[in-house]
Structure 1
Amino acid sequence: MSKKPKIRMYSRKSMNFPNKIGKEEYSLTTMFDLFIIEKSIEGLSERTLHDYNVHVKYLLDYLGSDIINTQCNKELFKSYIAYMLHEKGLSPVTANVRIRTIRAFLRFCYLNGYIDEPIHQHFKPVKTKEDTLESFTPEEVKKLLAVVDENSYKGFRDKVIIYMLLDTLVRCSELVNIKRNNVDLKAGFISLESANTKTRKGRTVPISTKTTRLLKEYISITDNYSSDFLFLTYEGEPLSDNTVRKNLAEIGEKAGVHKRVSPHTFRHTGALYYVLNGGDPFSLQKILGHSDMSMVRKYIQMTNTDVKKQHNVFSPLNTVFK
């Protein structure tokens, strides 16, 4: 059996970066600061800007030190991608999140004349398996809810959050920024403010009767808190998205669900069941807050079992042989 060829890794210190004569020098961090200023002016959310900073920090950690614009070349960034995939062992999905940030940053640098070469055109996000999004089975959702101690404040709050994530398909960052006055229990809607959505566009999401009943009870319990936010800690402070993720992961571990128990998995699961229950993709697109239908298609990837069930109900032969 032949050995797998060893991929040569490059570090900042092992590569030669010749300076170009006559080019005004800018450090990578200076160019990135200018990039962040432009993106903030464009109206990107605080969460997105934070993620950009985190992704570039990973790049700087790889480089070992700051570099200047005349030292940037396509070989450096291709080597960084190889490093993420083969040395760090990141999944293509995780690597692609960072790659997209770097490409956007390099495109900004090229268009503004900080670098001479359109480096962003020389590499793309890596290919991933089509079915990369997992969903929960109904049995797994019930297992998760079964281990929640709803007799405690934290447990009941977490139960309400699970219902909310599955029912409204909101993102975690949108969930923790919902305010009490955004909830209309009588009409059965929640208004998401534009400042707190990923697309920077406000939208209204419906809530089912089951979720409405739980929310009504939860709002009553938290009436004594002075906070405007809906989901609060036991001390009455606004709940952070990191706390929500941590709590869900702990619930998943306790329930023995061997999948990633996260807000995103609930969002994907809810989208899939919405379609399986007869919902149309156009209303689903509006609820999810996506402007591109291709993203909706990713959310409703179905297993063979799902397709079989749908086929039994909607087979063309059912029309022929009524």
Structure 2
Amino acid sequence: MYQYDVEAFMGACDRKGLAAKTMKSYEQTLRLFGLFLAERGITQTEEIRHPHIEAYIDTVRERGKYTVCAVQEPVSSNYPERRRDYGKKVSPVTINNYLRNMKAFFNWCVREELIRKNPIKPDDTIKVERKPLAFVTDAEFKKLLACLDTSKFSEYRDSVIMQTLLDTGMRCGVRHCRSRPGSTGMKPLRTTLLITLARRCQSRNCRQVWLKQVCINQVSDQSDKTY
């Protein structure tokens, strides 16, 4: 049964140690898809075919945002009808996220031999044009740093953090960061600093980047200063 399979899938995700945010996204997507299936009298996972996936995509496009609730009787309503974007068109990015979550579920079903093949096809994904984000200019960044009073520890620390984020491409969501000095030829150990980023992501991979000399000096000065 579809509902039981979803519960088993969520249990498998929990045992794998997936992030709570990922599991919440999976559960929400699969519950909404379950409502769609129930309206059409489909209760078994093995009954789901590719035409059902296509019909669901069309339904999501037509229904609009926040018009369907995954929980039949919510404990407290957040009044979605009061949102400014209520009923507006669901973005292709959101639909692709739904498909990605559903694909993970069906792949699990295939591995568990509940179904023979995944009903979602590669070409179901909607092509999305990604617009590059506007980036601050050097002058704007210098103006931002100039607003900080570096004679105070907290603001000097913030200045170092902002320069490190810009120099390494690090995000605020990075959970762990460790550094170690390195050497290049005859240069002293302080001339290079290697930052290892351990990001909380599905791949669990670490990425190593090198800091520029200007940023190294800022980090070193912060560690040497007494406030």
Query: Normalising by structure 1, what TM-score?
Result: 0.46
Higher strand share: 2
What does residue 87 of structure 1 align with? 64
Quick one: distance in 1 between partners of 2:148 and 2:95?
34
Alignment partners' CA distance in 2, 1:142 and 1:159 = 10
- The verdict on how the C-alpha distance between 1:26 and 1:162 changes in structure 2, with shifts beyond 3 A counting, is same
**Are 2:163 and 2:215, in contact at CA under 8 Å, matched by a contact in 1?**
yes
Q: Does the alignment pair 1:215 with 2:191? A: no
Cα 1:159–1:103, aligned 2, differ >3 Å: closer, same or farther? farther
Task: Give, in whole Å, the separation in 2 of the partners of 1:139 and 1:51.
Answer: 37
Give CA deviations for 1:42-81 in whole Å, capped at 9, x if unaligned. Answer: xxxx6xx344213213315635879763565542575268
Determine the C-alpha separation between the residues in 1 that align with 2:218 and 2:55: 50
Task: State the match for 2:177 in structure 1.
Answer: 178
Unaligned runs of 5+ in 2: 66-88, 182-188
The answer (yes or no) to whether the contact 2:195–2:211 under 8 Å persists in 1 is: no
What displacement does 1:132 show? 4.0
Partner of 1:33: 11
* Number of residue pairs aligned between Structure 1 and Structure 2: 190
Is 2:29–2:101's contact at 8 Å kept on the other side of the alignment?
no
Equivalent-residue separation in structure 1 for 2:33 and 2:180 (angstroms): 47
SS of the residue corresponding to residue 158 of structure 1 reads helix
Q: Residues 195 and 131 from structure 1, CA distance in 2 versus in 1: closer, same or farther, beyond 3 angstroms? A: closer
- Partners of 1:82 and 1:148 lie apart in 2 by 51
The equivalences for 1:257-296 within 5 A come to none
* Counterpart AA for 1:186: R
TM value normalised by structure 2:
0.60
Aligned match for 2:208, one of 199, 204, 210: 204
Which residue in 1 is equivalent to 2:165? Answer: 165
Amino acid at match of 1:69: T
**Would the alpha carbon gap of residues 151 and 109 (structure 1) be closer, same or farther in structure 2, given more than 3 Å must change?**
farther
For 2:84, the equivalent position in structure 1 comes to none
Structure 2 CA distance for aligned equivalents of residues 193 and 102 of structure 1 = 30
Correspondence for 1:118: 118
Q: Equivalent residue for 1:54? A: 24
Whether the aligned pair in 1 keeps the contact of 2:53 and 2:119 (CA below 8 Å) is no
Residue number among 22, 45, 50 corresponding to 1:69 in the alignment: 45
SS at match of 1:192: strand
2:196/2:206 contact within 8 Å kept:
yes
Q: How far 1:102 sits from its partner (Å)? A: 2.9
Secondary structure in 1 matching 2:161? helix
The CA distance in 1 between the partners of 2:31 and 2:143, in whole Å, is 41
Alignment partner of 1:120: what SS?
A: coil
Which one has the bigger helix percentage?
Answer: 1
Q: Kindly state the Cα deviation for residue 192 of structure 1 after the two structures are TM-superposed.
A: 1.6
Return the letter of the residue paired with 1:124.
D
- Give yes or no for contact 1:26–1:68 (8 Å, CA) kept in 2: no
SS of 1:172's equivalent? Answer: coil
SS at match of 2:190: coil
CA distance in 1: counterparts of 2:223 and 2:54, whole angstroms: 50
What is the distance in 1 between the residues matched to 2:145 and 2:55? Answer: 44
Deviation (angstroms), 1:164: 1.2
Percent identical among aligned pairs is 20
Matched letter for residue 64 of structure 2: E
Contact 2:191/2:216, CA 8 A, preserved across alignment: no
